[in-house]
Amino acid sequence: MSLIYVLNGPNLNLLGKRQPHIYGHETLADVEASCRRLASELGHELRFHQSNREYEIIDWIHEARENGAGIVVNPAAFTHTSLAILDALNTFEGPVIEIHISNVHKRESFRHHSFVSHRADGVIAGLGTEGYQLGIRRVATMLKTPKND
């Protein structure tokens, strides 16, 4: 049983309330519950965190280096601004899947660049909150597939 971290960036605590025409009506608690069910079905444990503070996300990535096998991360606005999160992710040896609820490529041009993508093993965007489950499934698959060094 491996531990998968699901990390969420700023303003995702307002999911379901903030711009539901973009992000939907599901709350972050709803997303967490469905992620926990899926992780359990796949035989994994889950740590689910959200913060509006960049340093907390970095601290959780550092914690995942010691305890985690994979990371699913929705960095939200930090996607486009945080070299510090990229640097932290670069220290993590397991699979990393970047997710975005909206299709960032159909939005403002500043959202088209992701620092996190430079480390991510895969990126899921525009599939709503279902992207979280897809990210967890992909991490689980990657964890059972041996690496070719």
pLDDT at residue 26 greater than cutoff 80: yes
Mean pLDDT of 47-54: 98
Which domains are delineated in the chain? 2-144 (3.40.50.9100)
pTM: 0.92
- The answer to whether the annotation marks 80 as part of a ligand binding site is yes
Residue 78 neighbours by CB distance under 10 Å: 25
What is residue 20's predicted lDDT score, i.e. its pLDDT?
Answer: 67
- The answer to whether the annotation marks 101 as part of a ligand binding site is yes
DSSP structural state of residue 14: G
In terms of residues, how long is the chain? 149
**Over the stretch 79-115, which tens digit does the pLDDT of each residue have?**
988 999 999 999 999 999 999 998 887 666 766 578 8
- The answer to whether the annotation marks 121 as part of a ligand binding site is no
Catalytic site residues? 23, 100
Q: How many CA atoms lie within 13 A of 120 on its CB side?
A: 20
| Cα–Cα distances in angstroms (integers) from residue 135 to residues 39, 82, 122, in the given order | 11, 21, 8
Spatial strand order of the sheet with 122-125 comes to 45-50, 3-8, 70-74, 96-100, 122-125
